[in-house]
Structures are given as structure tokens and as C-alpha cells.
């Protein structure tokens, strides 16, 4: 008996084992940034900002004072940590840290506690190469203590956070070799600078991380903490890896999220809500093309990913915050050093996106209000002299951009059959279909008939506030199941051909509703022989092929 197969439907996926739950806008909604202050350079300023934070403690300036840490050079031969505080249109103070070797000291991260104290951590040259160096400043700029961690190899801190109990956590790696980070270590200090604990990861877990080790950390209210970093897989892709550790540094949970093939995910920011949910913001890059992108993932309290997505453009200096309503606010510096803001609801729907040309937006921080961003732009005038301007940007839910409700779905071409692509969107005023990223002349409706042309299709949906771009829907002429049928013993046999290097899954269904995957593999370029043995007395069984990106 010959089996008549339903049409194959291999939708293009952004990630394996995850569904894409958000669609990012490509146009511009309206932002309303306000210039807070402009501070002229004095000759001893910060030449290269690295990180920023807002002092929202009691007694801080109205709207919060901005604290920026960065690099200042000494006679062009060495560098110091320089940390400055700004409010009311002027620089309140600036302090520098010069390590014991008077060599190259560079800050990596900054954190503030509830009292307005400032913690800056970075690399500082010591006896055995670089050490972790952490400096605590009081709200008025007084240096309260300095702590150094030396594992007698090259030590590089990558992230810092303050726990609910006031303890300070610094994580990083030591003696990186090749593509494996050695000696992943988190150091815990009390508020007075006493080293409370050193948490080295076991070799098995430490070996998961790429050479940069964990790049983000967050502590909860129970003494547990999270580490997020890049994890190498198949030597061609870095996945997102998040480890949950207990108060003694033991690994009690793991979350791993993969992107498309050859997509390198490099975490930048980790934010944790009081209900235990968290989100990780990463930069990413397609190794083969160098095309950069933003990658954001939201997790539930058990560490399971809820949704993930990409922004479609390069973003650096990124940060994330979960507000009391569970919305996720994302900030970053876009391609042309503009301010990019994204706001998603708990389900991953994009509520607003803004791209604003603030220029040289190098240091970003979240403001006093949950939906407020503070941006520091630094314009160097000459060596050691810089003018700093700060802006306040409210990021409110405007429901301005259209939203794609049902994206177009790809399929495999069947001779003599020409299926239409369709999209469902809300608040939409215009449609423009694209083939392989190029607009198709005259294709401006809610449906489009590909006319037998294979390729990657998408649709740009717009209104007066901007546009959003759908995920890609691949129409393929290369994915074919042929010579399919049942043998006398009831087993199903078929031959399959597809695109070389693509990963496919073969699925079966007894009712065309519930599909079960029974075969997943990268297609080697030669015909596959597929076999399946349905249970005895199965009245019908259907088969289809689905493609991973």
C-alpha cells in the first residue's frame, strides 16, 4: 500500500528545542530623551567608559546620581581604574585606583548597594599576572577598602553583584587555555571587605564555559546565585549556559539554550526577579559572516527557558531589568552607538522598541523608575579630556508598533501545487513581502503566492509608528520524501533527500494533530533510508520532515 504523505512543512527555526516567541521591530518608534547634564572635561577624566550605575539610595540627588567607571591612561604607558560620580550638571568627584605594579589596571564591572556604596572590580597587574581587584567607595567618594584575589595565575574578573544580605560576589576565570576556561572562581566578600568564601567550580562544570568564563552573575535572597556564560558545542557554536549554585558553591541546577548553527552567544547581563524568574541578555555573532546580533532569553523559576529571540542588529554595552509587572526591559548600544531600548511583556511580546541617535552611547544604566534609562555619552576632546553628557529616557508601553500574531510558515514545494504564504498582524497598515531579504515588487498584501520560487520569505508589517519584521519562512525545493510506503509486515519505509549540513527531524502522527519525532540528524548529502514500525493494528500513520535552521 502506498502512503499519501501530507505536505511537508519545515519551518525555519531560530533555535533547536525552542520556539521563537517574539518578533522584533525594524523601524523606529518615538523616544523622548531629555538632556540631564553636560559636564566639560577637566583633563583627568575617563577616556573610555566601561560601565555605569545609578545611585538611588536615600539622600542621592533627585532622579539618582550617575556613577561611571572606565579607563584613564597614565602617560600613555599604563592605565588606572577611574570612577566618577555626576549629578546636578557637574562632576561630584573622581577617584582612580592604581595597583601595586603601577601597570595596567582596567575595570570590568560596577555595582551599587542600597546605601549608595560603589563596588568596582577589574583586572590589576600583580606578582603572578593579573589579579581580581575590587574597590569599595562610599557615596562621597571615600575609598573604604580594596580587596585582591590571586590564584597565582592570570586571574580575570568578569562580573559583580551585591546580594540581598549585602555580600559582594565577584566571578571570573583564571589561566585561560585555548577554548577552555580554567579555574572558574567566584569570590564572596562581606560589606567591610572581609573575604568570606571562594567558590571554585568543579572541573566538570568549569569545563563547560568558554575561555571568557561566566560573564554575568546575580544573587537571590536565599544565598543562591546564578552564573551565565558561553558554552562551546560542536566547535562551531557557543550556547548560553546558566548554572545555579547554592550558598556553598555547589551546582544545583543548569540551564542551556542553543542558538542557530555557528551562532556564538556571549552573555552580557543577568537579571533576577524576586519570584525566582530570570532573564539573560547576550550579544551574538554568526561565525561564518561576522554578522552581529542581540539574543535575549527569559527563564522561569525552575530554570526552563520560556522564550528567546534576536534583535537583527549588533548591540553592545547591554543590560536587562525585570520590572514589578514581569516585563523585561533591554538596553544597549546599537550599531552607530545609538541608544536601543526594547520592552517585552512576560509572554515575550514586544511592546515597544526605540532607536535614538544619542551618539557615542557607551555607558548605560537603569534609572530610579522601573522603565527609565540613563545614558552617558562621552566625547573625547584630547588625551585625558572628555565631555560627558547624560540623558534620561522613559520607556513606556505605547502599543505603537504593529504586532505579528501568526507569522508566515514555510513549506516544501510539491510539483503542481503552489501554496500561499500568509500573515496575521494587529494594528497593521502596510505589508511588504521579501525574498532573501529583498522586497518583492507588488507583494503588499496579507498573503503572497511564491509562484514556485524557493527561498527565505519574510514580511515587513508597518504603521505610522514603524515596522516589524516576521521570522523567516523557508520555501524549499530540496526537501523530499519519496518512494514511501508500507511493507507486508506493517513497517514504513521511505527515502529522503534534503539540503547538506541541515539538521532534520522525521515525525509521525496517527491523527495529523499530535506529531512524534522518531529521527533527528544532520543530513549528510546522500539519500537516507527511513524505517518505522507502527504498533500492531494502527489504522493510519502519517509522516513528515521538519528542518532545523
Is residue 387 one of the residues assigned to a domain? no
Is residue 204 one of the residues assigned to a domain? yes
CA distances from 321 to 117, 215, 307, 387 (A): 20, 16, 16, 28
Is residue 446 one of the residues assigned to a domain? yes
Q: Are the CB atoms for 400 and 425 separated by under 8 Å? A: no
- Domain range enclosing 11: 1-27+401-549
Largest Cα span, the chain: 88
The cell for 88 is 546636578
Q: What is the pLDDT of residue 4?
A: 33
Please choose, from the candidates 355, 367, 271, the residue with its C-alpha nearest in 3D space to the C-alpha of residue 319. Answer: 271
Q: Are the CB atoms for 354 and 31 separated by under 8 Å? A: yes
Residues 168 and 274 grouped into a single domain: yes
Residues 307 and 164 grouped into a single domain: yes
Contacts of 124 (CB under 8 A, 6+ apart): 81, 97, 99, 100, 101, 105, 130, 131, 132, 133, 148
Count up the domains in the chain and report the number: 2
Residues of the chain with pLDDT under 50: 1-30, 397-399, 549
Residues 183 and 285 grouped into a single domain: yes
Is residue 373 one of the residues assigned to a domain? no
Rounded distance between C-alpha atoms, residue 546 and residue 506, angstroms: 6
Q: Which CATH number is 294's domain given?
A: 2.120.10.100
Strands 455-463 and 466-469: antiparallel
Q: What is the pLDDT of residue 28?
A: 40
Residues 305 and 181 grouped into a single domain: yes
CA atoms within 13 A on the CB side of 116: 17
CA distances from 134 to 191, 199, 236, 237 (A): 12, 17, 35, 33
Q: Which CATH number is 498's domain given?
A: 2.60.40.10
Residues 157 and 262 grouped into a single domain: yes
Is residue 521 one of the residues assigned to a domain? yes
Q: What is the pLDDT of residue 13?
A: 27
Residue whose entry in the numeric block shows the C-alpha cell 504603521: 463
Q: What is the pLDDT of residue 191?
A: 95
Is residue 448 one of the residues assigned to a domain? yes
Q: Which of helix, strand or coil describes residue 372?
A: strand
pLDDT digits (tens, 9 = 90+) for 5-54: 333 332 222 222 222 223 333 334 445 677 777 776 666 667 777 888 88
pTM for this model (two decimals): 0.67
pLDDT digits (tens, 9 = 90+) for 201-246: 877 777 778 767 888 999 987 888 999 988 876 556 788 899 999 8
Please choose, from the candidates 20, 41, 125, 115, the residue with its C-alpha nearest in 3D space to the C-alpha of residue 80. Answer: 125
Helix residue ranges per DSSP H, 33-189: none
Is residue 470 one of the residues assigned to a domain? yes
Q: Kindly write down the DSSP assignment for every residue of 480-525, as one continuous string.
A: EEEEEEE-TTS-EEEEEE--TT-EEEEEEESSSSS-EEEEEEE--S
Q: What is the pLDDT of residue 435?
A: 93
The residue out of 314, 334, 349 marking a domain boundary is 314
* Per-residue DSSP letter, 247: T
Is residue 308 one of the residues assigned to a domain? yes
The cell for 74 is 597614565
The residue out of 250, 283, 314 marking a domain boundary is 314
Q: What is the pLDDT of residue 23?
A: 35
Residues 156 and 304 grouped into a single domain: yes
The residue out of 283, 299, 314 marking a domain boundary is 314
Amino acid at each position: 500500500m502506498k502512503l499519501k504523505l501530507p505536505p511537508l512543512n519545515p519551518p525555519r527555526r531560530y533555535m533547536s528545542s525552542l520556539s521563537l516567541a517574539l518578533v522584533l521591530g525594524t523601524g523606529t518608534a518615538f523616544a523622548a530623551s531629555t538632556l540631564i547634564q553636560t559636564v566639560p572635561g577637566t583633563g583627568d577624566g575617563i577616556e573610555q567608559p566601561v560601565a555605569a550605575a545609578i545611585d538611588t539610595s536615600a539622600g542621592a540627588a533627585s532622579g539618582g546620581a550617575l556613577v561611571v567607571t572606565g579607563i584613564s591612561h597614565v602617560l600613555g604607558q599604563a592605565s588606572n581604574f577611574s570612577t566618577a560620580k555626576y549629578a546636578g550638571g557637574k562632576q561630584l568627584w573622581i577617584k582612580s585606583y592604581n595597583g601595586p605594579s603601577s601597570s595596567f589596571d582596567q575595570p570590568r564591572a560596577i555595582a551599587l548597594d542600597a546605601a549608595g556604596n560603589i563596588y568596582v572590580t577589574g583586572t590589576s597587574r600583580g606578582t603572578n599576572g593579573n589579579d581580581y581587584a575590587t574597590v569599595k567607595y562610599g557615596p562621597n567618594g571615600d575609598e573604604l577598602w580594596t580587596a585582591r584575589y590571586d590564584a597565582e595565575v592570570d586571574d580575570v574578573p568578569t562580573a559583580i553583584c551585591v546580594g540581598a544580605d549585602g555580600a559582594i560576589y565577584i566571578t571570573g576565570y583564571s589561566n585561560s587555555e585555548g577554548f577552555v576556561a580554567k579555574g572558574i572562581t567566584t569570590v564572596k566578600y562581606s560589606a567591610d571587605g572581609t573575604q568570606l568564601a571562594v567558590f571554585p567550580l568543579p572541573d566538570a562544570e568549569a569545563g563547560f564555559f568558554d575561555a571568557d568564563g561566566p560573564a554575568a552573575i546575580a544573587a537571590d535572597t536565599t544565598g543562591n546565585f546564578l552564573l551565565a556564560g558561553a558554552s562551546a558545542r560542536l566547535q562551531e557554536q557557543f550556547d548560553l549556559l546558566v548554572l545555579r549554585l547554592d550558598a556553598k558553591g555547589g551546582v544545583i541546577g543548569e540551564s542551556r539554550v542553543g542558538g542557530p548553527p555557528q551562532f556564538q552567544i556571549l552573555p552580557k547581563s543577568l537579571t533576577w526577579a524576586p519570584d525566582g524568574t530570570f532573564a539573560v541578555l547576550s550579544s551574538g555573532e554568526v561565525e561564518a559572516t561576522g554578522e552581529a546580533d542581540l539574543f535575549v532569553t527569559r527563564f522561569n523559576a525552575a530554570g526552563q527557558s520560556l522564550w528567546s529571540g534576536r534583535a537583527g542588529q549588533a548591540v553592545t554595552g547591554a543590560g536587562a531589568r525585570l520590572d514589578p509587572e514581569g516585563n523585561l526591559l533591554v538596553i544597549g548600544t546599537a550599531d552607530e552607538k545609538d541608544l536601543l531600548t526594547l520592552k517585552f511583556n512576560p509572554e515575550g511580546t514586544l511592546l515597544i522598541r526605540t532607536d535614538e541617535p544619542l551618539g557615542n552611547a557607551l555607558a548605560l544604566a537603569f534609572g530610579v523608575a522601573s522603565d527609565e534609562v540613563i545614558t552617558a555619552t562621552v566625547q573625547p576632546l584630547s588625551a585625558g579630556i572628555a565631555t560627558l553628557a547624560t540623558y534620561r529616557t522613559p520607556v513606556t508601553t505605547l502599543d505603537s508598533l504593529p504586532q505579528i500574531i501568526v507569522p508566515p510558515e514555510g513549506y516544501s514545494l510539491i510539483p503542481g501545487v503552489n501554496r500561499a504564504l500568509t500573515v496575521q498582524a494587529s494594528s497593521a497598515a502596510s505589508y511588504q513581502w521579501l525574498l532573501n531579504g529583498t522586497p518583492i515588487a507588488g507583494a503588499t498584501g496579507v498573503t503572497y503566492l511564491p509562484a514556485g520560487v524557493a527561498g527565505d520569505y519574510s514580511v515587513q508589517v508597518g504603521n505610522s509608528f514603524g515596522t516589524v519584521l516576521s521570522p523567516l519562512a523557508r520555501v524549499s525545493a530540496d526537501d523530499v520524501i519519496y518512494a514511501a510506503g508500507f511493507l507486508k509486515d506493517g513497517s514504513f519505509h521511505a527515502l529522503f533527500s534534503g539540503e547538506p549540513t541541515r539538521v532534520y527531524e522525521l515525525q509521525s502522527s496517527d491523527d495529523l494533530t499530535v506529531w512524534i519525532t522518531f529521527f533527528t540528524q544532520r543530513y549528510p548529502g546522500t539519500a537516507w533510508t527511513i524505517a518505522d514500525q507502527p504498533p500492531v493494528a494502527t489504522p493510519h500513520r502519517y509522516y513528515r520532515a521538519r528542518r532545523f535552521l
